[in-house]
Amino acid sequence: MSSDFIWNVRVYYEDTDAGGIVYYANYLKFFERARTEWLRAMGTNQHQLLQEHDVMFVVKSVSADYHAPARLDDVLKLTLRIEKLGRASIQFVQEAWNGEQLLNSARVKVGCVDSSLRLRTVPDAVASRMRGAA
C-alpha cells in the first residue's frame, strides 16, 4: 500500500544478550520506535492524538521471523510499510537489515483505541496522511 519508511538504529550493549547478539524481544522495541518516528515524519504526535482526539495505537498482534543475528554496534536499517489500512487498524510489514542482510521480518497489527481501550476509527486527518505516504 505505501512505500517503505526507513529509520536507522544502533545496537547498544543494553540491547544484547549474554552471547553478544541482540536479544530477540528487542526487535519489537526497534520496530515500535520506527512506527513512532514514521508517525512523527507524517506530522502526527501520539501524545497530541491522545489529548485532542482521545485515541492511541496499541499492538494487537505480532508475527516475527528471525533470519540472522545483529551484534553490538551494528547500525540497523529498519523499514516499515503499510500492508493494510482499515477503519480502526493498521497492518504493517517491518524489517530489520544490517547492510544487505535481512535480520528480522515482522507483521505487526495495531488497533486504534480510546483511553478506555475501546476500538475507535483512525482520525480522518491521520488516515489521510497514512494513505498519502504511498
Q: What's the pLDDT at 104?
A: 98
**Residue 16 near residue 74 (C-beta atoms within 8 A):** no
- CA distances to 5, 56, 95, 100 from 69, in Å: 22, 32, 13, 13
pLDDT confidence bin for 3, thresholds 50/70/90: low
d(CA 95, CA 6): 10
The tens digit of pLDDT for each residue in 33-69 reads: 999 999 999 999 999 999 999 999 999 999 999 999 9
| Domain around 101 | 5-133
pLDDT confidence bin for 133, thresholds 50/70/90: confident
Question: Structural domain tally of the chain?
Answer: 1
pLDDT at 126 over 50: yes
Average pLDDT over residues 82-93: 97
pTM of the predicted model over 0.85: yes
Q: Does the annotation count 17 as an active-site position?
A: yes
User: What is the CATH number for 107?
Assistant: 3.10.129.10
- Identify the active-site residue in 15, 17, 65, 114: 17
Which ranges in the chain belong to alpha helices (H)?
A: 26-41, 46-53, 124-132
pLDDT confidence bin for 134, thresholds 50/70/90: low
pLDDT at 1 over 60: no
